[in-house]
Structure 1
Amino acid sequence: MISSTGGRRRGFIAPAVAVLLLLTGCGSADAPAGTSPTAPPSSSASTSAAPSAAAPTTAPGTPSPSSAPAAAPATPAEPAVLAASEPVTLSVPSIDVRTDLLSLGLRENRTLEVPPGEPGSPAGWYNQSPTPGERGPSVMLGHVNATDGGDGVFAGLRQLGAGDRIEVSRKDGSTAVFEFQRGETYMKNDFPPLEVYGNTAGSELRLITCDGYNPETGEFDDNYVVYATLVN
């Protein structure tokens, strides 16, 4: 697998549709050909300055209240995060999951590399997203089923609930511990890239798999996304 880690940042753009290509291939070792990647909208917003008010008139010799230096607006401190270190294993004790993590990059056609779909296949970390514990959303992908029809590594994600912990061991010997916040189901043709992949103030984790099996087509129509935040 490709293991390039250059160019990581707090939020990222390229894999928005590539991830969908991976997840439409649940239970298969190959992602189907299809849509080319599209970039999510920019998360930065421009602001315009408010017009300045006229200064009040004061008597000679009287200090003007506006002559004192203006206090800088308070800026909330960003949550503490960990230094960069690539993930090694993922553990979700409440659903009895422990998996090694593949490093997934982009192919030459800008689609995401695909984890194997055989029984026992591991999950994968998208290596252009932040490492788990860094500021921003670290993205991990796994199949909901396997090629033999059995469970995939992320088959139990829907069982996660409030307070459940997700642990990621890292190459530097540390463990990033995340807490489940919520799970969301998105139709694959209405997937919100900015909400899933956009910048975050602290360190967050996204676990993504397929959902919404359609027996008429034999395919999954939705994605299920777990949102978790760093607690340790």
Structure 2
Amino acid sequence: MTKIQSFLRHGRHLRRAAGLTAAAVLAGGAAVGCSSSEAKTSDDSTKVTPVAAIAPSVPDRISIPAIDVDAKLDTVGLDADGVMETPPTDKPMEASWYRQGPTPGEKGAAAIAGHMDTAGTPKAVFYNVKNLKKDQEIKIHREDGTTAVFAVDSVETYKKSAFPTDKVYNKTDRSELRLITCGGELGKDRHWDSNVIAFAHLKGETKG
């Protein structure tokens, strides 16, 4: 089994990201995995209403039909050293929203992190994020009853030493989403050397 390492090994990326995402919030708005066995909450037949952005609401569930993900969302923040907390390893089939950034659907770049694997779970919640294709949907259910529906723009892999902080966390003029997990090559220390990042933009919302 592999031993999971922190998504952003040295922490400098998220120290800066905290300021960037805070700016995005004021303007109006970071893992490894497969799927859970719980019943899916989203209905593919539900009409998506095009919108540019949605009012803030805490996300509580993520659904990615193309890779069979339907998972509860927890939250992560920054630790005392200014480094993004790693999603709990005892909940490998759950993902975590970065709560110091925008909520998914708000204007700005929201971030959700999830494990690709853990020591006890070889295929965790974001194991197949690397296989996402352009225009496939990511659905984020929120506490206000709405679901923010995003379309994938690209999936990219970066060495952890070259994490693209500006591209991931900078202020944007539209509602965007980043899914962040581990990937690349497994080193001798049993740590992945890269981050896999899915970039997506808001397509619209569903209600009820």
Which residue of the partner structure matches residue 190 of structure 1? 162
From 74, 84, 88, the equivalent of 1:102 is 74
1:187-226 equivalences under 5 Å are 187-226=159-198
TM-superposed CA distance for 1:32, in Å, is 9.5
Q: Output the TM-score relative to the length of structure 1.
A: 0.67
1:103 CA drift (Å): 1.2
Query: Identity rate of aligned residues, in percent?
Result: 35
2:36 aligns with: none
Find out whether 1:174 has 2:146 as its counterpart. yes
- Name which one, 1 or 2, has greater alpha-carbon Rg: 1
Cα separation, 1, equivalents of 2:54 and 2:10? 35
Distance in 2 between residues matched to 1:36 and 1:154, nearest whole Å: 21
- Quote how far apart the aligned CAs of 1:184 are: 0.8
* Preserved contact between residue 115 and residue 121 of structure 1 (Cα < 8 Å): no
TM-score (structure 2 length as normaliser): 0.74
Superposition RMSD on alpha carbons, in Å? Answer: 2.6
Give 1:202 deviation, angstroms: 0.6
Could you tell me how far apart the structure 2 residues matched to 1:191 and 1:211 are? Answer: 13
1:120 to 1:223, Cα distance in 2 relative to 1, 3 A:
closer
Q: What secondary structure does 2:120 align onto?
A: coil
Count of matched residue positions in the alignment of Structure 1 and Structure 2: 171
Q: Does 1:39 align with 2:16?
A: yes
Higher strand share: 2
Larger RCO (CA under 8 A, 6+ residues apart): 2
Q: Is the 8 A contact 2:109 2:171 kept in 1?
A: yes
1:153 matches 2:130? no
Look up the SS of the partner of 1:231 in the other structure.
strand
Deviation, 1:33, is: 11
Deviation digits for residues 45-75 of structure 1 (CA, Å, limit 9, x no counterpart): xxxxxxxxxxxxxxxxxxxxxxxxxxxxxxx
